[in-house]
Every structure is written in C-alpha cells, then in structure tokens.
Amino acid sequence: MSKRACLILMAALAASPAAAHVSLETKQATVGASYKAVFTVPHGCAGSPTVRIRVQIPEGVIAVKPMPKAGWNVDVVEGKYANEYDYHGNKLSSGVKEVAWSGGKLLDKHYDEFVMRTVLTDRLKPDTTLYFPVVQECEASVSRWIEIPAEGAGHSHEGKSPAPGVKLLPKP
C-alpha cells in the first residue's frame, strides 16, 4: 500500500462515526445484576466544548445512582416505570428515568467519563442489546446519540448517531 493510501485510510478511520460517538466502556452485562454504566465522551461537538450530558434510562433499568462529578451538577428526572420491579423485597413502580450532568465544561480536545450505578432487572431479555440514548449539549451545537437499530439488526456503529449499548448476558 502506498504512503498516500495509508494516509487516506488513517484519515477515514479517524473521522468515522464509530470512533467519535458517546459509548459505554463496559460492552456486556448480566441480566439480574448491578451494572456500572461508564459513558465515555471522546470530544465536544464539532470543536465546541460539551456543557451538558443527558442520559435516558431504558425500561428495566432500576436503582440508578449517578456519580457526582467535580465541577458538574447532577440532576435526575424521576417517573413511573411501565412495569413493577422487585428490588430487595420491595416493589418499585417508579424511579430515575433520566440523568443529566451540567455546569461543567469539557473542551473538545479532552476526553471524560460520566458514571452511574444501575441494576439490570431480570425482566430484560438476554442476548439482546440494551440502549441508553444520550444527548450531548455543547456551547455551539447538540449531538444526539439516540439511533437504535431495528429489533434483530444487532448493534451497529454504521448509523450517524448510534446510542450507546450494552449486550445483555444471561444469568450464569
């Protein structure tokens, strides 16, 4: 391969959406267990600093506890679940539906992580991917990492704005 072809290939890979979106650090988790969701934010929005990250909590994910982050405010939106879930002998019918970190400033040239502890209920279907839509708000624009592949299509990074996903594993 020529030097020029290598440079073109490297530039294409560096610009690909798969390398540029908000993603989950841990790509697999067990149904019916706790899950530490670490959302990695590799950059801002087209050069603009990130000032807010909002994560939608999918149905079947309960006991959400976001980790405080120095220099950022953390807020939660609570609401009713579509189902009722057993959590340590208690019936939960409502809880955290969205987590937002704001007030900080993540420069485009920096990388950061936003963390929450969750429980993946045993009502979630093993051998599927669970998606957490994320909206990344920047000073000059917004990136919506919300695309979820059609059921059965599997996790794809081919979309322009793929939602972060975790593959669900059956209980051992």
* String of DSSP letters for 67-116: PP-TT-EEEEEEEEEEEEEEETTEEEEEEEEEEEEEEEEE-TT--EEEEE
Q: What is the pLDDT of residue 93?
A: 97
Name the residue type at position 111: Y
Q: What is the pLDDT of residue 76?
A: 98
Read off the pLDDT of residues 89-138 as tens digits, 9 standing for 90 and up.
Answer: 999 999 999 999 999 999 999 999 999 999 999 999 999 999 999 999 99
Q: What is the pLDDT of residue 172?
A: 87
Query: Which pair of tokens denotes residue 132?
Result: 């957490």
Q: What is the pLDDT of residue 146?
A: 96
Verdict on whether the full-model pTM lies above 0.75: yes
Give, for 150, the enclosing helix (H) or strand (E).
none
Q: What is the pLDDT of residue 160?
A: 83
Q: What is the pLDDT of residue 158?
A: 56
**Distance (Å, whole) CA 51 – CA 109:** 14
Low-confidence ranges of the chain (pLDDT < 70): 1-20, 152-159
* String of DSSP letters for 19-58: GTS-EES--EEETTEEEEEEEEE---BTTBPEEEEEEEPP
